[in-house]
Amino acid sequence: MSVYTDTFQVSTNGETDIVDITGSISEAVQKSGFSRGLACAFVSGSTAGITTVEYEPGLIQDLKSAYERTAPRRASYAHNSRWGDGNGYAHVRASFTGQDVSVPFSDRSLMLGTWQQIILIDFDNRARTRQVVVQVIGE
């Protein structure tokens, strides 16, 4: 087994902006030259997350609504009192989501379900440029 590391950037609008990054991760798998293995994607930062969904408008809206019910933007957060940056909700949402995902691949193709895509969610209260690190472990 060998390891290949790649990075890419994603510009976001913040405010629970959801971006499909499946293509960028597939590209890293292709560039690795490996035919089978595991692709791990990680977003640097404590106010963003990575997960998988069926990337379609209805589910994207449902997901945003669920985050708002779970960690409301306007709720009181001790983080906001300490730092005054108003993004306590973003830290909580990112913690619930997690910052990484691992997907096996075979024949240089991610083994995702038919309707499954990998997404980056930027929860912060401002636009950001996020860096995603992809490590491909394979042969």
H or E stretch at 23: helix 22-32
Domain ranges, ordered by start, for the chain: 2-138
Per residue in 62-107, pLDDT tens? Answer: 999 999 999 999 999 999 999 899 999 999 999 999 999 999 999 9
Average pLDDT, the chain: 97
DSSP characters over 25-82: HHHHHHHH--SEEEEEEEE-SSSEEEEEE--SHHHHHHHHHHHHHHS-TTS--HHHHH
SS3 111: coil
The pTM score is 0.96
Alpha-carbon 53 to chain mean position: 11
Q: Could you say which of 3.30.1330.20, 2.30.30.140, 2.60.120.460, 3.40.50.300 is the CATH number of the domain covering 2-138? A: 2.60.120.460
